[in-house]
Amino acid sequence: MMYSKPRIKSTAYAALSRMFDQNRIDPSLTSLITELPNPDPILRRAGKNTAIYEEIARDAHVIGELRSLRSGLFSFNTELVPGGDDAASLKSYELAKAFFARKPCPHTEWADMDWHNYSAILNGFSVTHLGKYIKHDSHWQPEYVETWRNSRFAFNSDHELLVKTSENPQGELVDQRRWSCVRHMPSAENPYGIALLSSCFWPWTFKHGGFKFFVQLCERFGIPFPVGKYPIASKDKDIENLLDGLAKLVSDGIAAIPDDTSIEIIESKISGEPVPERLVNFCNAEISKALTSQTLATEQKNGGARAASETHAKRAGDNQRSDRALVASYRNQLLNALHTVNFDGGEPPKFMFKDKREINTDTVTRVRETARIVPVGEDWAYQELGVPKPKDGETILDVPDEGHGIATAAKTEFAKKQTDALELTNEFDVFDHASDDTIKQIFQFAQASKSLDELKQKITSQFPDISDSALADVAQTAIEYEFMAGMNEANSKTVEIDDE
C-alpha cells in the first residue's frame, strides 16, 4: 500500500485523511447550539429519547418481526452494473467489484452493513463512515467502512448532517466522500426521519404494564381458591392454625384442620380471553402493523380467511421491497464517493436488488405491450427487464415459446430467430406444420374409416414414427374436421315439406 496525495486539492485531501474514533469524541457534556432537536412527538411527550429503541427491540414479539424483516432483506439477489460504456465508467465498475469483494472491516460483513442501513426504518436514519483513504492497487479506497451510532449525529435547520466531535460538540458538516446517510420518510419539519420503533413505544409500554397484572391474575385465579369456615367465637389461635392449614393446602396439596371446621374450594369462573391477555394481543397487533403493515401473516387469532392473510403477506412484501431502496442508496453513495475521488469523467456503477424468487411480471407486460404499439430499442428493453445484453459470440439460451416473445419481428429484432431453419421436435409439430395435402390426406382417412382402430392403422402406416400422444391429437383433430364438415353439409341442404 502507498500513502500519497490523490488527484485533489490539499484541503480535500486533509478531509479524506482525517481520522475519527467514535469512542473518544463523545460531546455529551457540552450544550448544543446548532443542533436541531429530534421533533419526534411521541418520545418528547413521554419524556424519553431514542435510547429506548434498544429496549423496545428486545421485546419477544418485536424481535420476531425484525427477524422477518431481515430475512426478507436477504431473500433478494444483488447486482452491480456499470454506469456507462466509456473507459472511466468501466474502470470504476471494476474498482467497485474489488471494493465489495473484501470485508468492510476485519470483523464485519457487508450483510451487517446492509442491515444497519436497512434499520433506518426502525430508527429514522442510519449513518455509515468511510475511513481514511489510502492508495491500494493504484486507486484511492477507504481503509475501512464502519457503522456509527445515531446519537453522534444531528441535523441543522438546513437539514444538513452534522457529526459531533470533541473539538466541535455542536456538530460540524460532514464530507460527502466520508459519510453516507439514509433516512426513512423525512419531511420539512423532521429531517431525522420517522422511526417505526417510535410508533411501537406506547403498545410496548402498555403491553409490559399489562404483563404485570396478567401474572397477578394467573396467580390469583389460576388455581382453585380455598375458603376455610370456622365456628363463631373461635379463638385467634384457631383461626391462625386454619390459615396455616389452607396455606399448606395451596403449596403441598394436603392440610390438617380441626373436625369442627370446613373447607370450600371456589374455582374461577372467568370465561373467554382474560382482559390482560386481550391487551397483550392488541399491543402485539399494533406493533406488527407499525413494523410490517400487517398482522395476519404472523399471527391469526380465532381463525381467519386465507385470502386475508395472503393479502397481508403481500403488503408486507411490498413494503420490504421499498425499504430495500435504503440499502441500495447507501451502497450507491459509497460508489459515488469512490468514483469521485478516483475518476474525472464517466459514471459510477449502480447497485440494485433483484428478486430471486419471482419474475417481475408487471415489467415484462409493460415492455411487451409497449413493443406492440411503438418500436422500442433493445437497450431500453434490456434495461427495463434488468438483464444484461448478450455479448457477441455468447451462447444464447433458447426457451421454446408459443408466442413471439416481447415483440414481433416486424417492429423490433429484440427476439431474433430464424424461422426458415425451424427444427420440429416432436411428431405433432410435423402434423401442425404439414402441408394442405397432408391434412387433406388425414381427413380422407377419417372419412373412409369405419372405426378408430382403422383410422389409427392408416395414420401409423403413413407416419410410422408418430407417438401415441401425437396420434391421439391428430385423430381428435381429424374427427372434429369430419364432424364440422357433416354439420355444414346438413345445414346447407334444402328440406322440402309436402303440404298434403
Which of 307, 329, 297, 280 lies closest to 69 in space, CA to CA?
297
Instruction: Spell out the residues 6+ positions from residue 26 whose beta carbon is closer than 8 angstroms to its own.
Output: 152, 166
**Type of residue numbered 148:** W
Which residues partner with 17 through β-bridges? Answer: none
Give the residue, 397 or 116, on which the prediction is more confident. Answer: 116
Per-residue pLDDT, 342: 93
Residue range 322-338: average pLDDT? 91
If pLDDT is split at 50, 70 and 90, which confidence band does 179 have? very high
If pLDDT is split at 50, 70 and 90, which confidence band does 167 have? confident
Which of 226-240, 337-351, 359-373, 434-448 is predicted least confidently? 434-448
State the sign of the Cα–Cα–Cα–Cα dihedral 101, 102, 107, 112.
Answer: negative
Per-residue pLDDT, 491: 56
Per-residue pLDDT, 336: 94
Per-residue pLDDT, 272: 63
Which residues partner with 125 through β-bridges? Answer: 183
If pLDDT is split at 50, 70 and 90, which confidence band does 427 have? very low
- State whether residue 12 is helix, strand or coil: helix
Instruction: Give the number of other CB atoms < 10 A from CB of residue 33.
Output: 8
Residue 388 reports pLDDT greater than 90: no
Residue 445 reports pLDDT greater than 80: no
Q: What angle do CA 289, 198, 288 make, to 5 degrees?
A: 15
If pLDDT is split at 50, 70 and 90, which confidence band does 43 have? confident
Separation of first and last alpha carbons in the chain: 116
Distance CA 355, CA 73 (A): 10
Give the residue, 473 or 125, on which the prediction is more confident. Answer: 125
Distance CA 81, CA 96 (A): 10
Task: Give CA separation, 244 vs 111, 236, 247, in Å.
Answer: 61, 12, 5
Residue range 78-88: average pLDDT? 89
CA dihedral 27, 32, 35, 41 (to 10 degrees): 100
Per-residue pLDDT, 194: 92
If pLDDT is split at 50, 70 and 90, which confidence band does 87 have? very high
Mean pLDDT of all residues in the chain?
Answer: 75
Residue 425 reports pLDDT greater than 80: no
Which range has highest mean pLDDT (136-150, 204-218, 282-296)?
A: 136-150
Which of 204-218, 318-332, 340-354 is predicted least confidently? 204-218
Q: What digits encode the pLDDT tens for the residues 448-477?
A: 777 777 777 777 777 766 666 666 666 666
Cell of 106: 476485519
Which of 8-17, 177-186, 332-341 is predicted least confidently? 8-17
| Residue listed under C-alpha cell 419539519 | 189
Residue 353 reports pLDDT greater than 80: yes
Residue 17 reports pLDDT greater than 80: no
Give the residue, 59 or 361, on which the prediction is more confident. Answer: 59
Domain boundaries, the chain: 10-195+321-342, 201-303, 360-422, 427-492
Record the pTM. 0.58
**Type of residue numbered 5:** K
Which range has highest mean pLDDT (17-21, 81-85, 294-298)?
A: 81-85
If pLDDT is split at 50, 70 and 90, which confidence band does 440 have? low
Which of 299-313, 353-367, 395-409 is predicted least confidently? 299-313
- State whether residue 134 is helix, strand or coil: strand
Per-residue pLDDT, 112: 93
Q: What digits encode the pLDDT tens for the residues 210-234?
A: 677 777 666 666 666 677 777 776 7
Instruction: Give the number of other CB atoms < 10 A from CB of residue 112.
Output: 13
Residue range 140-158: average pLDDT? 91
Which of 186-200, 277-291, 422-436 is predicted least confidently? 422-436
Residue 205 reports pLDDT greater than 50: yes
Per-residue pLDDT, 292: 84
